[in-house]
Amino acid sequence: MSGLTDLLRRAAQVNASGTASICGGTKLTWQQTQERVSKTATLLEGLGVQTNDRVAVIANNSARFMELLFAIPWCGAVAAPLNTRWSVPESSEIAIDLECKIIATDQANLSRTLEILSNMPYAPSVLVLDGTGPEGTVSLEPTLVRCESRSDAGRQGEDLAMICFTGGTTGRSKGALLSHAGMCTNTLQWIAAVQASPNDRLLVLPPLFHAAGSGNALAVAALACTAVFIDRFDINLVLKTIETYGVTNIPLVATMLDWLVNHPDITKFDLRSLNKITYGASPIPIPVLEKALKFLPQVAFYQIYGQSEGGPTISVLDAIDHQDLHAPQLKSAGKVVIGSEICILNSEGNPLPAGEFGEVAIKGPGVASGYWNLPDDSKQSFTDGWLRTGDGGRIDEQGYLFIEDRIKDMIISGGENVFPAQVESVLRQHPSIIECAVIGLPSIDWGEEVVAIVRMAEGVSNNDMELDTLCRKQLSTFKCPKRYIFRDEPLPISAANKILKRELRQQYGP
């Protein structure tokens, strides 16, 4: 299989009457899903979409969004999901750059989409996925009943499948160019690494506009299993959905897992169906994992490391590596997925031996071919099939990848290199810290000083001396924060649930 629609056609063949999606209480089979996808492709074509045209999607997670991920290539076009958290000017700028033919949206994002449209020099068609849209827009459901099925365009191989935008943690989001073959192969790599099965019921929590979310949807099709959607992330709703629909697999970030296992009523829900939790963005703090293993002893945990340009999955920390809470590999991002390669490069781009710190580079079938309309950035990040991730790390003798930090987030204090992730790892050992971020701020004496921004559990007093003692026991003096800033509100995060340190630097800097 080398095309996204191949995954769907196989699912409809091998599990035609099986449940493909559960959304808002509505269940659709794989046969029904394929029929809707084919008719939606006819609708898109009727609105003027041609081969290689971009179709932007600004919508929350839903079965209709998942169908679009297949309907767009079914008519030969390219999906370009946009982040619903972007500002209107940023969304308008990217939509213009894409020269998108259609913007598909939902009621939750309709008014914002119309505002984006008002900033554009031309008027793409607006397709409303749920309910009825205002005059001048096209409503999906009433139109779909009048559409005939059409044949699959047969996109595959190196044909462009999706423009997946990066999280934008260090600057403007860039559109990673992902091929059909690359996305299909990376989906299979993920399935093999986390031992997903056709019996799974996957609660799709990452936004479908993010590579992890769209990857979940593709995995469901590849397995011909079931995707379950909820309209928002709410811990009570997540727990109730697992109980109601027998969810077996949920993808989270470490912060979400912390919320889940510390929910005061977790024992009141029947979570026996749950057998896998995949998580990303950062390692699980040991106290959180310890509690998770206590409340969810039947669950296998897998840490996923990846990024949009990587396909997205790059490496996986296996379930067996989560069993020993004192094992050093628990702080790693696991091992590279089968069929891909990783190496560590120095500043000149030369490979480094095991144990040496440098930039993580990945080569594999899922790696993007470049960035949309950004030739200079593409040349800088992609060389001879290798993607320079921008992440700093090392690989040990057993092949475990340790991500130390973003190269651009490195702090140079008094001539010494400080990697915030190392300091954050120590701070997270404190049982009362909910979240923290370490940044560098300008300093007359040091060039940059190490500053920790901390949110403590409710009712816990702020004690910088206690945190300083914790750090000094485990870190060199120059790595210990010079200042601690305590705040009550959550730290700002990107769509990928990664802390936006550039915003913190702007907020607390000079």
Q: What are 319-346's pLDDT values in tens digits?
A: 999 988 888 899 899 999 999 999 999 8
Please list the residues that pair with 393 across neighbouring strands. Answer: 358, 403
Is position 82 within any domain? yes
DSSP 329: G
354-390: pLDDT as tens digits:
999 899 999 999 999 999 999 999 999 998 889 999 8
pLDDT above 70 (res 170): no
Nearest to residue 245, comparing CAs of 228, 223, 232? 228
pLDDT above 60 (res 273): yes
pLDDT band (50, 70, 90) for residue 281: low
Is position 343 within any domain? no
Contact 163, 54 (CB under 8 A): yes
Is position 36 within any domain? yes
Residue 181 to residue 159: CA distance in whole angstroms: 8
Question: Tell me, what's the pLDDT at 85?
Answer: 82
- The rounded percent of the chain whose pLDDT value lies above 70 is 96
Mean pLDDT of 96-100: 96
Q: How many domains does the chain have?
A: 2
Is position 78 within any domain? yes
Contact 470, 484 (CB under 8 A): no
Mean pLDDT of 279-292: 80
pLDDT above 80 (res 454): yes
Q: Report residue 50 CA to chain centroid gap.
A: 29
Question: Tell me, what's the pLDDT at 117?
Answer: 94
pLDDT above 80 (res 445): no
Domain containing residue 42: 4-9+24-185
List, as one string, the DSSP characters of 246-274.
T--EEEEEHHHHHHHHT-TTGGGS--TT-
Most confident of the following: 56-70, 89-103, 350-364, 488-502: 56-70
Is position 139 within any domain? yes
Contact 85, 62 (CB under 8 A): no
Question: Tell me, what's the pLDDT at 139?
Answer: 97
Question: Tell me, what's the pLDDT at 145?
Answer: 94
Question: Tell me, what's the pLDDT at 438?
Answer: 94
Is position 95 within any domain? yes
Q: What is the domain-level CATH number for residue 428?
A: 3.30.300.30
pLDDT above 70 (res 46): yes
Residue 43 to residue 149: CA distance in whole angstroms: 9
pLDDT above 80 (res 169): no
pLDDT band (50, 70, 90) for residue 442: confident
The last residue of a domain, from among 155, 185, 215 = 185
pLDDT band (50, 70, 90) for residue 168: low
Mean pLDDT of 149-178: 87
Is position 307 within any domain? no
Phi, psi of 322 (to 5 degrees): -95, 0
pLDDT band (50, 70, 90) for residue 1: low
pLDDT band (50, 70, 90) for residue 87: confident
387-441: pLDDT as tens digits:
999 888 999 999 999 987 667 677 878 767 687 888 898 898 998 898 999 999 9
Which amino acid does the sequence have at 496?
A
pLDDT above 70 (res 167): no
291 token code pair = 């509690």
Mean pLDDT of the chain: 91
The last residue of a domain, from among 185, 217, 248 = 185
Q: How many CB atoms lie within 10 A of CB 177?
A: 22
Phi, psi of 21 (to 5 degrees): -145, 150
Q: Cα dist. 179→73, 118, 249, 365 in Å?
A: 11, 31, 26, 9
79 token code pair = 């999906």
Q: How many CB atoms lie within 10 A of CB 295?
A: 14
pLDDT above 80 (res 83): yes
pLDDT above 70 (res 495): no
Residue 85 to residue 105: CA distance in whole angstroms: 14
- The rounded percent of the chain whose pLDDT value lies above 90 is 70
**Least confident interval from 158-167, 222-231, 451-460, 501-510:** 501-510
Is position 494 within any domain? yes
Output the pTM of the full model: 0.83
**Higher confidence at residue 117 or residue 254?**
117
Q: What is the domain-level CATH number for residue 150?
A: 3.40.50.12780
3-state secondary structure of 396: coil
Question: Tell me, what's the pLDDT at 182?
Answer: 97
Residue 461 to residue 319: CA distance in whole angstroms: 36
Contact 177, 370 (CB under 8 A): yes
The last residue of a domain, from among 185, 202, 234 = 185
Measure the CA angle with vertex 171, ends 304 and 484; round to 5°: 75
Mean pLDDT of 464-490: 89
Helices (H), 158-268: 180-194, 211-223, 235-245, 254-261
Question: Tell me, what's the pLDDT at 478?
Answer: 79
